[in-house]
Structure 1
Amino acid sequence: MPKVLISDKMDPQAAKIFRERGVEVDEITGKTPDELKAIIGQYDGLAIRSSTKVTKDILEHATNLKVVGRAGIGVDNVDIPASSAKGVVVMNTPFGNSITTAEHAIALMFALARDLPEADKSTQAGKWEKNRFMGVEVTGKTLGLIGAGNIGSIVADRALGLRMKVVAYDPFLTDERAIELGVTKATLDELLARADFITLHTPLTEQTRNILSAENLAKTKKGVRIVNCARGGLIDEAALKEGLDSGHIAGAALDVFVTEPAKESPLFGTPNFISTPHLGASTTEAQVNVAIQVAEQMADFLVSGGVTNALNMPSLSAEEAPKLKPYMALAEKLGSLVGQLAHDALTGLAIEVEGAAAELNQKPITGAVLAGLMRVYSDTVNMVNAPGLAKERGLDVREVRHDREGDYHTLVRVTVDTKAGPKSVAGTLFGNASPRLTEIFGIKVEADLDGAMLYIVNEDAPGFIGRLGTTLGEAGVNIGTFHLGRRTAGGEAVLLLSVDTRVDEALLAKVQGLPGVKQVKALGF
């Protein structure tokens, strides 16, 4: 039974779902990093919020860890490169608090427009400063949306309902999607010049860090009001204060800060500045939603292999996983075979699928091929860290999907580029379940790839099989299965033998010394 640790306070629904799905769960919160290191090795999964820091040091002690699930969007507290290198899937729940965060952005926009916090404070102090608080309407104003993803699109929908005009800057926003959302695409400079209100909904990356820099804030329309419920670091906070002090920026509302918890900030006390303590996801509904979603996602992965909302691995639904499992087994065996036989100085790799395989999600098949191939370089490789290992070695990976029908109802082909030219292996599924090799380096041969095997390239000549059998028999090696293929009669032949015990170097040398043998290699699957 898989075992999960919930290390941050989470809605009880999460633990309930884990148990219902057949996953053992412990709820142990508030542990220090050293205390977490002492216990993390016994868990297959780690469910967190924002408090637990999944560092490289923690991961080194997580000897059984397979998945980290973040109940929420931001994964700033997870070392994703280290997780990937360790082979740990990192998931988040990007949709559980989308509405809540979008609504908070709209609420802050209204608060800025009508100066609600100061008006409340003044009134409760016994003043009646009706003339002091002159706000602005949002109707007819232009909202500049930086980031038009899931949350940004909800904000756009709400803003359009308020009869605002919406311009959006997002490098990934297509013309078709902009029309669907009812927004106008714009460059960042165009947005800054046109927007009466600006709201940010983008992750913090090297490309988006300080996207509202001092230089860009100077390009904004005088009297602009700015809202950030996304990530601290998207706005230069010092430059924002200067803009507020000068009056160029009419107001700003931040739910997120560069340093959190933000116990102090030069922005605090600045006129026309509103702050909240990272409340974007703080509604009862959102807390329940993200807890349920992270438990469902992690349970699907640990029980059935489904991968949802992973940040370092292709998605694979729980429904797809059983159907893809035999294909992934075939792909991994083919990758392992070509890796064991042709792993020197590889420059490129092509994974081709045809027939029934061409109708499936190809990403997991590619990941399985890479996992098999990269096993020659690492004994801890899996589908998560294999792409990183391939990239480190400069391996160009190509995916090809064929609609054609071939000799088999389904086929997966793996071709590697070597100094000697391309080398290709191919395989199919028998009965839609059993992986079977069908071709190796241009020679047709049908073989199971399982256990200890011998790969032999020899001249096709009478008497060779007898000499080989005698050599193995004298060494006490029993042959399980025997698979033979050849290019032409009397030409080059290939033998794949399954043996009950792995062949040692001394016996390999004896086989290599047999007349007609060109190459011999011990394989393991």
Structure 2
Amino acid sequence: MKQKKIIVCDAIHQKGFELLKSENDIEVIDAVGVDKEELLNIIGEADVAITRSSTDINEKFLNSAKNMKAIVRAGVGVDNVDQDGCSRRGIIAMNVPTANTIAAVELTMAHLLGTARSFTNANNHLKNDRVWKREKWYGTELSGKKLGVIGFGNIGSRVAIRAKSFDMDIVAYDPYITSSKVTDLDMTYTTNFDDILACDFITIHTPKNKETIDIISFDEIKKMKDGVRLVNCARGGLYNEEALYEGIKSGKIAFAGIDVFSYEPATDHFLLDLENICVTPHLGANTIESQEKIAIQAAENAISAARGVSYPNALNLPIKAEDLPPFVEPYLELVQKMGFLCAQINKASIKSVKIEAEGEVGEYVKSLLTFALVGSLKESIGDKINYVNAEFVANEKAIDTKFEAINNSSGYKNKITIRLTTEKGVTTVNGTVFGEDEQRIVGINGFKFDFKPKGKMIVVKNSDVPGVIADISSMLSSVGVNIADFRLGRDEHGLAMAVILVDENIDKKLVAKLNELDTCIWAEYAVI
């Protein structure tokens, strides 16, 4: 198997490097610290690049990246990534948006407490000025106060939960979620932005786009309570900075906690001249744990992209992710993995691909089809298949494609099914997402399972008789293959199916030996 090349352009946590180097089919090019002009001479051989803010993904970079299939920005911000340029060249641009969630949540709580008690000012007054003046630093308590949360996604919802433990009353504004996500937590959901402006504290957790830039400006601050306290640990420019300055200077805003600015580094920003403001230099992701998670997720995403299995958090898809509710996005990746699994189990010329969706995700079943096709065709076409040409290739090969929203009868809140028909027969895989992004395979060909669609696995259909597990385990052990997990499904007709997650690569000879077992109906090896 030809190795895929992943180039690491900027420093990431060592755990990310360890993960990349542990994969037999991946060659790692360590370009950390390489001069950016010299980098242009070596990226041409790479299939995937991992970058951070130090490397600009601009025209010069893209022109040099002749073999590039995907770019992973190890972090949330993609201001330095030319997404349109990537799209024109067929390069998938990705980021890692959730690895710093807890770090950002906890920094927000620090700023929330800071705005209530003026810790930074009190600290500086005593430590730097050597003045002991307790009466100058009266604060206010969080308990009993209203906190307005703008944006109730991964970070905003967790901030709200923590603030509620301080006995705060939470009012949430987010037009892109169902109200039950808020009300189920005994919090108030509103579609009236004025309800947010009436709160004692306000924090924002939205992406930066045309809807959210200056979402709080002069007019909004006028409507606020006197003595309101504002926090922004999301993106610079969500609060109009001139309006924020005037609001703090006039006393309308009692205190603000700001981690992000419209232009960074903000070492000479006018907000720094104000007393009643606590500022930090964009520290949202700056924890040891967060940096490790970012590196691991970036490495995992790069490996998946190099193999063509999936492109997690792709930013330049033909389907605009921002037009879909957040809960749909994990299903896009999941259905692609399901298609890839189907094609590895059922290796033959594809006749049809059908997607069925139950629950709320059924409204977006058409969007799932492209991803299912990319996954299904990857096994036979390889790197030539992508989101742009998937439907064209399917038509060219006379593959029948269908999608359907069906009644929810499975017991899952949302469930998707892919039916892959080949010359050999039909393979069906079912999947769902638990919580916000926990992907699971919950069925294969009618056998019930529950496992993550990730890693190396052997899928075996067999007669449900004693000794099968022992026979398989013994055979794997004899060739030094370690079993990481063993999932078993059974039916009422004397048959069973096993999904065996393993640590090592499996060769064709071992799969052939498994198929020779008297109890084995068929066995296949798959990597997701």
| TM-score, scaled relative to structure 1 | 0.65
- Give the aligned partner of residue 341 of structure 2: 323
Distance in 2 (CA, whole Å) between partners of 1:141 and 1:100 is 24
Question: 2:235 and 2:60 mapped to 1: Cα distance?
Answer: 25
Does residue 1:305 correspond to 2:309, yes or no?
Answer: yes
Bigger drift between 114-123 and 18-27 goes to 18-27
Call closer, same or farther: CA 1:328–1:362 in 2, change over 3 Å. Answer: farther
**Gaps in structure 1 of 5+ consecutive residues:** 335-350, 373-379, 391-397, 405-409, 413-426, 435-525
Report the Cα offset of residue 400 of structure 1.
2.9
Question: Aligned pair 1:250/2:268, yes or no?
Answer: no
How far off is 1:403 after superposition? 6.7
How far apart are the structure 2 equivalents of 1:299 and 1:411?
A: 24
Q: Which residue of 2 aligns with 1:344?
A: none
Q: 1:300 to 1:369 in 2, by over 3 A?
A: closer
The CA distance in 2 between the partners of 1:57 and 1:332, in whole Å, is: 40
Secondary structure at the counterpart of residue 60 of structure 1? helix
Range 69-78 or range 125-134, more displaced: 69-78
Question: What per-residue deviation string (whole Å, max 9, x for no partner) do you get for residues 457-509 of structure 1?
Answer: xxxxxxxxxxxxxxxxxxxxxxxxxxxxxxxxxxxxxxxxxxxxxxxxxxxxx
Give 2:201's aligned residue: 197
Give, in angstroms, the shift of residue 202 of structure 1. 0.5
Q: CA deviation at 1:329?
A: 10
CA contact (8 A) 2:309 2:337 kept: no
Deviation, structure 1 residue 2: 0.9
Determine the C-alpha separation between the residues in 1 that align with 2:405 and 2:191. 39
Of 16, 22, 35, the match for 2:18: 16
Aligned residues: 382
Matches within 5 A, 1:74-473: 74-124=77-127, 125-187=129-191, 189-303=193-307, 305-313=309-317, 314-316=332-334, 320-325=338-343, 365-367=369-371, 382-386=385-389, 400-401=403-404, 428-432=421-425
> What amino acid sits opposite 1:190 in the alignment?
D
Shift of 1:368: 7.3
In 1, Cα distance between equivalents of 2:227 and 2:46: 53
Shift in Å, 1:34: 3.4
Q: 1:213 to 1:384 in 2, by over 3 A?
A: farther
Quick one: which amino acid aligns to residue 37 of structure 2? D
What's the offset of the Cα at 1:60?
Answer: 2.5
Instruction: Report the residue type matching 1:242 in the other structure.
Output: E
Q: CA deviation at 1:179?
A: 1.8
- AA partner of residue 383 (structure 1): N
| Matched-pair contact (CA < 8 Å) for 2:6–2:306 | no
For structure 1, which segment, 324-333 or 58-67, has the greater mean C-alpha deviation from structure 2 after superposition? 324-333
**What amino acid sits opposite 2:311 in the alignment?**
V
Q: Deviations over 1:234-273 (max 9, x none)?
A: 1111111011111111111111111111121111121201
Letter in 2 for 1:141: K
Matched residue of 1:252: which SS? strand
1:213 to 1:385, Cα distance in 2 relative to 1, 3 A: farther
The one-letter code sitting in structure 1 at the alignment partner of 2:340 is P
- Name the TM-score, length of structure 2 as normaliser: 0.65
Partners in 2 of 1:225 and 1:92 — Cα distance? 32
Q: 1:411 to 1:364 in 2, by over 3 A?
A: closer
Letter in 2 for 1:137: E
* 3-state SS of 1:253 partner: strand
Q: Secondary structure, in 3 states, of the residue corresponding to 2:257?
A: strand
Is the 1:304–1:321 contact (alpha carbons within 8 Å) kept by the matching residues of 2? no
Structure 2 letter corresponding to 1:258:
S
CA–CA distance in structure 2, aligned partners of residues 403 and 118 of structure 1: 59
Deviation at 1:162, TM superposition (A): 0.7
Question: Kindly tell me: are residues 352 and 16 of structure 1, through their superposed partners in 2, closer, same or farther at Cα, counting changes over 3 Å?
Answer: closer
- Tell me how far apart the structure 1 counterparts of residues 301 and 15 of structure 2 sit (CA, whole Å): 13
| 1:319 to 1:352, Cα distance in 2 relative to 1, 3 A | closer
CA deviations on 1:125-177 (whole Å, 9 max, x unpaired) are: 22101110110001111111011000111101100111101111111121221
Distance 1:182 1:14, change over 3 A: same
- 2: CA distance between counterparts of 1:130 and 1:411? 66
Q: 1:319 Cα deviation (Å)?
A: 5.2
Which of structures 1 and 2 has the bigger CA Rg? 1
Q: Where do residues 35-54 of structure 1 align in structure 2 (5 Å cutoff)?
A: 35-54=38-57
CA shift for structure 1 position 54: 1.4
Does the CA contact (< 8 Å) of 2:354 and 2:402 recur in 1? yes
Change over 3 Å in CA distance of 1:297–1:164 after alignment to 2: same
> What secondary structure is seen at the aligned counterpart in 1 of 2:53?
coil
Q: CA deviation at 1:221?
A: 1.8
Match of 2:58 in 1: 55
Deviation at 1:311, TM superposition (A): 2.6
CA contact (8 A) 1:6 1:28 kept: yes
Aligned to 2:396: none
Q: 1:45 to 1:304 in 2, by over 3 A?
A: closer
Instruction: Give me the whole-angstrom Cα distance separating, in 1, the residues matched to 2:159 and 2:191.
Output: 19
Task: Tell me, yes or no, if the aligned pair for 1:300 and 1:318 is still in contact at 8 Å.
Answer: no
**Deviation of the 1:188 alpha carbon:** 5.0
Q: Which runs of 5+ in 2 are unaligned?
A: 318-331, 377-382, 394-400, 408-416, 428-528
Q: Which amino acid aligns with 1:79?
A: D
SS in structure 1 opposite 2:306? helix
Contact 2:74 2:294 in 1 (8 A): yes
Aligned residue in 2 for 1:421: none
Other structure's SS at 1:131 match: helix
When residues 165 and 329 of structure 1 are mapped into structure 2, their CA distance, relative to the original with a 3 A threshold, is farther
Q: Is the 8 A contact 1:308 1:317 kept in 2?
A: no
Structure 1 residues 278 and 89, CA gap change in structure 2 (3 angstroms): same
